[in-house]
Amino acid sequence: MPYDAPSQKLNLSAGFASVSVAAVLVGLKLWALWATGALSIAASLADSAMDLFVSAAGLAAIVYAARPADDDHTFGHSSVEDLVSLGQAIFVAASGGLILWASVERLMAPSQPLTAEGAGIAVMAVSAGLTAALVLWQRRVARLTGNKVVAADMLHYVGDLLPTLGAILALFLSARFGWSRADSVIAIFAALLMLRGALQIGIASWHALMDRAAPADVVQGIAEIAALWPGVRGYHDLRTRTAGARVFVQLHIELDGAQSLEAAHAIARSLKRAIREAYPQTDVIIHMDVWQA
């Protein structure tokens, strides 16, 4: 879909906010890890480091995907979003695997007390507040612009709230009851969530890179619009494919051959406009055929 200036500014603001928050969280959690030695904070730190990478890549993807089509990329540049997502999935999986291995190793070893739990809790509480504020802004931008990179980044930060809150719980249990092993258990749970998320991101990116069709409800909605559109006697060969945040649509419509070319083009233009209003992420190509009674 064409990227208008207001939408692009909103998307960029969400991208810059994401990178800024991730950088602040990495710094805070590095200090908290050094002060406490808590693996649950290490898991949350790995999440934030991954977020910094993901957010930077997402920001670059937003900028690059918004470039207009050119001679080398006649369908635009939106597939970069899928390439970035696949790289993110690999990074997430590697981070989750390392945290899982370290957590199991510590769980099997003799219990080690945590330190400076109060300071760690304070840092993680600040992290949770910053993350929640970022999620609220990203949700607003995604709703207004329909950008899938922003929406995916928002969902990722929503998922990050769990390990952050888990780290707070682990530190509280250690300080209050001396249950230092809760740190490793929560870190294992966070690592499994990271691996699950990596699998979901990777599968979605793979499908998009393989030109998978748009979701069934989108295809059905486009078909219903075409079937009921004034002046359209029939339609066929409705095909879709996804690339990043965009959905490319090709559709043949059957029109009365007795009408003027200008009238036929007016019908096609109005149908194209209606489809794009219903599904703003689409790029629509309509072929006109003569209706055979």
Distance CA 147, CA 227 (A): 28
- Render pLDDT for 17-32 as a digit per residue (tens, 0 to 9): 888 988 888 888 788 7
Q: Estimate to the nearest angstrom the gap between the alpha carbon of 151 and the chain centroid.
A: 5
Q: What is the pLDDT of residue 227?
A: 93
User: Which residues in the chain land under pLDDT 70?
Assistant: 1-7, 36, 38-41, 43-44, 65-66, 68-79, 81, 88, 106, 109-120, 146-148, 152, 155-156, 158-167, 170-171, 174-184, 208, 211, 244-245, 293
Q: What is the pLDDT of residue 3?
A: 45
CB-CB contact of 18 with 138 (8 Å):
yes
Distance CA 264, CA 268 (A): 6
> Which of 120, 134, 135, 116 has the alpha carbon at shortest distance from 167?
120
Q: What is the pLDDT of residue 2?
A: 43
Tell me how many degrees the CA angle 246-212-201 measures, rounded to the nearest 5: 75
Q: What is the DSSP string of 161-189?
A: HHHHHHHHHHHHHHHHH--THHHHHHHHH
Query: What is the pTM (predicted TM-score) of this model?
Result: 0.56
Distance CA 104, CA 139 (A): 35
CB-CB contact of 291 with 233 (8 Å):
yes
Q: What is the DSSP string of 255-291?
A: E-TTS-HHHHHHHHHHHHHHHHHHSTTEEEEEEEEE-
Distance CA 13, CA 239 (A): 34
Q: What is the pLDDT of residue 288?
A: 93
Distance CA 25, CA 131 (A): 9
3-state secondary structure of 114: coil
